[in-house]
Amino acid sequence: MATALSMTMNKSTYKDQNVSSPYETALLQYDRAVGHLDLPTSVVEYMRYPRREFTVNFPVRRDDGSTEMFTGYRVHHSTVLGPSKGGIRYSLHVDLDEVRALAMWMTWKCALMGLPYGGAKGGVIVDPKTLSMGELERLTRRYASELIPLISPQSDVPAPDMGTNAQVMAWIMDTYSMTVGYSVPAVVTGKPLEIGGSEGRTSATGHGVVICMVEALKRQGITDPSNISVVVQGFGNVGTYAANHAFELGFKVVAVSDVNGGIYNPNGLDIQAVRAYYAETGALKDFGNAENITNEELLALPCDVLIPAAMESQITRLNADKVKAKLVVEGANGPTTPAADDILNDKGVLVIPDILANAGGVTVSYFEWVQDLQAFFWDQEEISRQLRRLMIKAYDFTAHTAEEYDINMRTAAQVAAIKRVAQALQTRGFYP
């Protein structure tokens, strides 16, 4: 008899024009990739399912003395290659479907990068901007206490994501440590430096995006950054550091945006000045010497490189034909739907997929975890060197797979990653 979960898992039957959720997108991408691999049906089916899903409902005391209930999730997609690894996001858009998708993408991302992790993701349905610092701490500590049965340096290692930061990770680390009775820095990554965080972790995802962008351009024979125009959607952690790093390398960043819209100057923006303006005003709108634009307009701007670094499903079948960039480097998770992928491929647009392009964050999280376990820390130079080494290695691996199977870079990245997980699964076998 089919369960509700299996029916949900199997409803992604190539409904390319009607993909309505991140999880359907993730499953459709998976189905496309495994079609290129000669794997036993049992292995293919096993990897479609999350290993475990955890839903919690918990109270948080507000500053006025009232109590409000919140819902949170943690999903482990895979633990075949090692402990599960994945961020925790605080957002009103969080739901189990999204968390499942993000956990699956984390499995492929870690496998592609050669990291000894499986994929996980978590989240709480909340707008963190509506909470005071005290309320945010109480919510975090209560959510962390609910996750105690799941998380540990050997089983599941959370990290920051949308709506969370190093301080949130510090509270989770402290809550876990107080529960077990001793300090456990390795239980989370993305922590402040003073309690076991790593140099370069905050900027790692944005830097990794730009490493992939530069590598893609170099392979096209383009080495002069001053002639390359770059558009960045999203001005959170990933987009800010991607735009800033590209600017520092000499690229012409012509547009950036946040959730409320963006700014555009075809002659290029001074990103350091934009960051200062954003820090002061909390918005990009009305930045001097730039035109205000919508996010919809931003995606259609004339440019050489588009970096979607905001939310899932930003480039869809409805707007993919309007994209003028010849190179799309995905800073966000799942920003391009499968139908949009097809349109971009037909237009000759090269898409560097999320599980490769934004893997810098989890890679430096791995470095942080290793440093915590060894109690031996690296300097910024070593972090940057190792990050670049692994990003280029993964790019080469993906490009080689694309050539071997005659497929695009997204499918190649998933084929390469799924193959690694499948080989490990087959070697370990099914328990019992």
| DSSP 8-state assignment for residue 40 | -
CA–CA separation, 358 and 330 (whole Å) = 7
CA–CA separation, 303 and 11 (whole Å) = 37
Q: Which residue has the tokens 């996010």?
A: 295
Q: Which residues contact 123 (CB under 8 A, 6 or more apart)?
A: 72, 73, 88, 89, 90, 91, 94, 98, 99, 161
Spacing of C-alpha 326 from chain mean position = 22
Q: Which residues contact 111 (CB under 8 A, 6 or more apart)?
A: 81, 416, 417, 418, 420, 421
CB-based contact 212:392 (threshold 8 Å) = no
Instruction: Tell me how crowded residue 46 is: count the other CB atoms within 10 A of its CB.
Output: 17
Annotated catalytic residue 121 = yes
Torsions phi, psi of 20, nearest 5?
A: -120, 0
For every residue of 113-149, DSSP letters joined together read: HT-S-EEEEEEEE--GGGS-HHHHHHHHHHHHHHHTT
- Catalytic residue, candidates 121, 191, 252, 419: 121
For residue 83, give the 3-state DSSP assignment.
Answer: coil
Choose among 97, 117, 98: nearest CA to 107: 117
CA–CA separation, 17 and 319 (whole Å) = 13
For residue 402, what are the CA distances in angstroms to 106, 247, 396, 419?
A: 20, 30, 10, 13
What amino acid positions are annotated as catalytic residues?
Answer: 121
